[in-house]
């Protein structure tokens, strides 16, 4: 009796789910696999909003294919493989998406690409998965990302420091895929170029004091501390406690440390020896387009991964348009619309792109977060600059090679 | 919406239900029959996952592994490793009364998670292990999923039959005696501590096997998979809802909770986009509410423990 009740409830739930909205012939669905719940929940809403903005641009400027609408299906990948594979399976099989943007976390990308999207032949573009492991996926050319692997930035930063005459540093990294990924590639490149690491240690986030870790690092005798952490989180504590105790003279951070909150909290006057590396968009006109539209939508333009989320969705739409909605041609089309040569397309210029594609002309999308010239593994090289603190913000002082 | 897609989704759900059913069966041995409150399921899940991953994956620089051993070896090793780690833990912690054991196991799961995250030479650290083989992984999407489901279903069936047989045997009655009245059981000459340790080790081995099945399905494992929400508490809810002390209940609970967890998202997707982000939290709420309702109206679970002879008294 009870069993039957349960079966009936489950059946009803399934049944209700099956009564999905009917799709029109030319409508195309795009899966957005944001990490809405879970450890990076705070980052997810602006990322989803940025991807949706791209979808809005497509639909406002003539729609996709022959008068169809691009529809975004939002799923919660929760930053873990269990939920990510589940949400990818639903997107691919129930909503019949032909491309997905996301998931946000690298582990979720690896699992859902391996078990769902690659076997199903669905294009995946992640806006925030930075693990070097994603490069190694056997992906049938179906997995891409719109931000560089952690490898690029760590290596570029190591070369820049060497070029600036710094050859002995201590490294403190946050023990997650971001911090550790950067630290490992930095270490490899720095040591290969003859640099010395006087200290190298990871730390867990959210502790009240890091003085003992910092004291150990300082004992190595380096003047420079390289911090791979977030400037709005633990990185701020590390920097503050190093300054208070005079452990180091110079501090270098990666993009996560480039926070204006940090400058406000510590004060520019105390940050003369603080430098950060951060990605810079070459096509700044594209970034302006995006910022204007994103601000008009009532969102914060400084949100992390917002530009890459927009670009991922916009690129997916361009690839679908170029491929004429044919799933099998998506990867090839994505490479065609993203790579030079071709007429440059900036963020938000859907109508122009659609017209050029219809005329059979080659286009090259210059995104808000970078040019997105994919290499053979579907990765993008980074454009990084070296910044110093200036006023309440940051000022670029050199390009990084 | 077409039938093939629906079938694919159903097969995927069935695979995950199978994996969760193994976890729930493992917990049922520990809690349902022996009364051990293990709140560190995620830890044993992780040990099994990494043990099999390290033994069967392709070689990679910077971490242990790349032995490319056959799958069966990896799966056996996952059970042995989980059991081997459960043994000393049980030896020390099982002397505690149930609530202290719960606190100790939460701590142990956290230690295991941190070791996996930090000891890069062993586990690949936060980058995890990739290049793990998947049986029949070279087939097309649908056949490969069906083949994997067959493997998972077979293992769940074997585990179910073995556990069921063991529980019906005198061993099972002894375990229940220990659970319900430890002093009386000890007075009858039963070795309470040794028996509890047995249950703890057997249950953990099943959890380890579930971990191995999960990583081979995804061909990768990262520390993100060891999230207590999804790898400990969800399984507790499955067992409580299905009926602790009843193996069929454990499997049914896994199915019901995973279906609610997964399908509720399809329902919240029908809500307007303005609340789409907030709506994602609805399923966490639904699961919590389900547990509350079950505890209030049917504390013994959907399929209660079968009591021979005497009326249910718990």
- B290 lies within 8 A of chain A by CB: no
pLDDT digits over A184-229, tens only? 889 999 999 999 999 999 998 888 899 999 999 999 989 999 999 9
- A107 lies within 8 A of chain B by CB: yes
Q: Is residue A382 part of a domain?
A: no
Find residues 118-177 of chain B whose CB sits inside 8 Å of chain A.
Answer: 118, 120, 125-128, 130-131, 134, 140-141, 144-145
Q: Same domain for A142 and A159? A: no
Please, are residues A210 and A203 in contact by the beta-carbon 8 Å criterion?
yes
pLDDT, position B38: 93
Domain residue spans in chain B? 3-226
Nearest residue to A200 (alpha-carbon basis) of A192, A237, A185 = A185
Mean pLDDT check: name the lowest of A116-120, A192-196, B38-42, B117-121.
B117-121
Tokens of B144: 């490969």
pLDDT over 50 (residue A19): no
Nearest residue to B139 (alpha-carbon basis) of B131, B130, B128, B149 = B149
Find residues 26-45 of chain A whose CB sits inside 8 Å of chain B.
Answer: 34, 36-38, 44-45
Quickly list DSSP for B203-220: HHHHHHHHHHHHHHHHTE
User: How far apart are the CA of A31 and the nearest CA of chain B, in angstroms?
Assistant: 12
pLDDT digits over A130-143, tens only? 888 899 899 999 99
pLDDT over 50 (residue A174): yes
Name the pLDDT band for A8 (thresholds 50, 70, 90).
low
Q: Same domain for A169 and A140? A: no
Q: Is residue A208 part of a domain?
A: yes
pLDDT digits over A314-370, tens only? 999 999 999 999 999 999 999 999 998 899 999 999 999 999 999 999 999 998 888
Q: Same domain for A159 and A259? A: yes
Q: Torsion angle, CA of A189/A193/A197/A201, rounded to 10 degrees?
A: 0
Mean pLDDT check: name the lowest of A113-127, A243-257, B295-309.
B295-309
Nearest residue to B77 (alpha-carbon basis) of B207, B231, B228, B212 = B212
Q: Same domain for A179 and A231? A: yes
Q: Is residue A342 part of a domain?
A: yes
**Helix runs in A200-348, H state only:** 211-218, 234-245, 260-266, 284-296, 306-323, 330-338
Which residue in chain A has the smallest CA separation from B220?
A111
Chain B contact set for A177 (CB, 8 A): 126-127, 222
User: How far apart are the CA of B51 and the nearest CA of chain A, in angstroms?
Assistant: 18
Interface with A, mutate which of B210, B263, B280 (most A CBs under 10 A): B280
How distant, in Å, are the alpha carbons of A99, A147, A262, A335, B222 from that of B204? 39, 40, 46, 48, 20
- A5 lies within 8 A of chain B by CB: no
Three-class secondary structure of residue A228 per DSSP: strand
- A8 lies within 8 A of chain B by CB: no
Split into its structural domains, chain A has a count of 2
Q: Same domain for A52 and A102? A: yes
**Helix runs in B61-191, H state only:** 71-93, 98-118, 120-123, 141-168, 170-180, 182-187
* A110–B218 CB contact, under 8 Å: yes
- Residue B126: phi and psi, rounded to 5, are -70, -20
Which of A75, A92, A107 lies at the smallest CB-CB distance from B128?
A107
pLDDT, position A250: 93
Residues 6+ apart with CB under 8 A from B310: none
Which residue in chain A has the smallest CA separation from B126?
A177
Q: Torsion angle, CA of A43/A48/A51/A54, rounded to 10 degrees?
A: -120
* Cβ pairs A/B, distance under 8 A: 167
Which residue in chain B has the smallest CA separation from A138?
B131
| pLDDT, mean of residues A28-46 | 88
pLDDT, position B259: 94
Residues 6+ apart with CB under 8 A from A143: A109, A113, A117, A118, A124, A125, A126, A134, A137, A378
- Cα(B149)–Cα(A322) distance, rounded to whole angstroms? 37
Range with the largest mean pLDDT of A287-301, A371-385, B152-166, B171-185? B152-166
Among residues A237, A272, A307, the one where a domain terminates is A272
Strands A196-203 and A168-174: parallel
Question: Which has the higher per-residue pLDDT, A222 or A150?
Answer: A222
Three-class secondary structure of residue A123 per DSSP: strand
Chain A contact set for B220 (CB, 8 A): 81, 107, 110-111, 114, 133
Question: Which has the higher per-residue pLDDT, B203 or B265?
Answer: B203
How distant, in Å, are the alpha carbons of A11, A286, A331, B16 from that of A121? 30, 31, 10, 21
pLDDT, position A22: 44
CATH code at A157?
A: 3.40.50.2300
Chain A contact set for B270 (CB, 8 A): 21
Among residues A250, A272, A294, the one where a domain terminates is A272
How distant, in Å, are the alpha carbons of B113, B115, B128 from that of B228? 10, 15, 18
Q: What is the mean pLDDT of chain B?
A: 90
pLDDT digits over B194-229, tens only? 999 999 999 999 999 999 999 999 999 999 899 888
Q: Same domain for A143 and A46? A: yes
Interface with B, mutate which of A27, A34, A82 (most B CBs under 10 A): A82
Residue that is written with structure tokens 């590639």 in the block = A185
Where residue B166 falls (left for φ over 0; alpha for ψ -120 to 50; beta otherwise) is: alpha
Where in the sequence is the domain holding A174, given as residue range(s)?
A: 151-272
pLDDT, position B210: 97
Q: Is residue A393 part of a domain?
A: no
pLDDT, position A6: 53
pLDDT over 90 (residue A127): yes
| pLDDT, mean of residues A249-262 | 88
Residues in chain B: 314
């Amino acid at each position: 009796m009870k069993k039957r009740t349960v079966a009936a409830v489950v059946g009803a739930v399934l049944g209700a789910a099956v009564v999905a909205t009917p799709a029109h012939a030319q409508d195309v669905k795009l899966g957005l696999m944001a990490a809405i719940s879970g450890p990076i929940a705070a980052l997810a809403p602006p990322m989803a909003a940025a991807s949706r903005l791209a979808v809005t641009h497509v639909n406002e400027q003539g729609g996709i294919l022959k008068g169809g609408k691009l529809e975004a299906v939002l799923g919660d990948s929760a930053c873990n493989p269990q939920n990510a594979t589940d949400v990818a399976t639903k997107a691919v099989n129930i909503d019949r998406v032909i491309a997905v943007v996301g998931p946000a976390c690298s582990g979720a990308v690896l699992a859902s690409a391996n078990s769902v999207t690659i076997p199903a032949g669905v294009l995946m573009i992640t806006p925030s998965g930075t693990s070097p492991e994603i490069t190694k996926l056997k992906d049938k050319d179906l997995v891409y990302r719109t931000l560089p692997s952690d490898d690029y930035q760590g290596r570029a930063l190591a070369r820049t420091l060497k070029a600036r005459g710094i050859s002995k540093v201590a490294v403190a990294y946050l023990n997650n895929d971001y911090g550790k990924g950067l630290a490992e590639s930095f270490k490899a490149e720095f040591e290969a170029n003859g640099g010395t690491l006087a200290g190298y240690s990871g730390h867990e986030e959210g502790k009240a004091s890091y003085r003992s870790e910092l004291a150990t690092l300082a004992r190595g005798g380096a003047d420079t501390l390289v911090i791979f952490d977030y400037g709005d989180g633990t990185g701020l504590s590390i920097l503050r406690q190093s300054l208070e105790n005079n452990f180091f003279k110079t501090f270098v951070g990666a993009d996560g440390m480039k926070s204006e909150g940090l400058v406000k909290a510590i004060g520019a006057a105390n940050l003369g020896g603080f430098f950060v590396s951060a990605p810079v968009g070459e096509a700044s006109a594209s970034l302006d387009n995006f910022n204007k539209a994103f601000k008009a939508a009532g969102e914060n333009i400084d949100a992390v991964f917002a530009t890459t989320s927009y670009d991922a969705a916009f690129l997916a739409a361009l690839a679908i348009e170029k491929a004429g909605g044919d799933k099998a041609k998506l990867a090839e089309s994505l490479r065609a619309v993203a790579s030079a040569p071709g007429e440059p397309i900036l963020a938000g210029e859907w109508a122009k792109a659609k017209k050029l594609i219809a005329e059979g002309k080659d286009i090259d999308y210059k995104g808000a977060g970078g040019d997105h010239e994919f290499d053979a593994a579907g990765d993008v090289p980074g454009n990084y600059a070296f910044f110093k603190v200036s006023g309440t913000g940051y000022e670029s002082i050199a390009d990084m090679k | 919406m077409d039938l093939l897609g629906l079938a694919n989704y159903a097969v995927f759900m069935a695979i995950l239900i199978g994996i969760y059913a193994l976890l729930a069966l493992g917990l049922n041995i520990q809690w349902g029959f022996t009364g051990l409150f293990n709140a560190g399921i995620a830890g044993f899940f992780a040990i099994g996952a990494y043990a099999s991953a390290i033994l069967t994956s392709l070689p990679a620089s910077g971490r242990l592994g790349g032995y490319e051993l056959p799958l069966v070896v990896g799966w056996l090793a996952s059970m042995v490793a989980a059991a081997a780690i459960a043994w000393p833990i049980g030896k020390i912690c099982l002397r505690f009364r149930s609530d202290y054991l719960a606190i100790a196991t939460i701590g142990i799961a956290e230690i295991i998670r941190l070791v996996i995250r930090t000891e890069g030479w062993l586990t690949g650290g936060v980058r995890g292990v990739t290049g793990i083989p998947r049986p029949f992984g070279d087939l097309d999407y649908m056949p490969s999923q069906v083949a994997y489901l067959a493997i998972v279903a077979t293992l769940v069936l074997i585990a179910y039959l073995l556990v069921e047989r063991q529980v019906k045997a005198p061993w099972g009655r002894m375990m229940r005696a220990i659970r319900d009245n430890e002093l009386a059981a000890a007075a009858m000459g039963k070795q309470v501590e040794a028996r509890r340790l047995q249950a703890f080790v057997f249950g953990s081995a099943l959890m380890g096997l579930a971990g191995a099945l999960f990583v081979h399905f995804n061909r990768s494992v990262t520390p993100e998979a060891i999230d207590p929400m999804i790898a400990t508490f969800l399984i507790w809810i499955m067992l409580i809802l299905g009926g602790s002390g009843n193996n069929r209940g454990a499997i049914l609970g896994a199915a019901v909770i995973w279906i609610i967890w997964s399908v509720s998202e399809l329902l919240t997707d029908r809500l307007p986009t303005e609340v789409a982000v907030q709506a994602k939290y609805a399923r966490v709420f639904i699961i919590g509410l389900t547990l509350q309702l079950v505890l209030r109206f049917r504390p013994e679970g959907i399929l209660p423990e079968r009591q021979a002879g005497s009326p249910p008294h718990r």
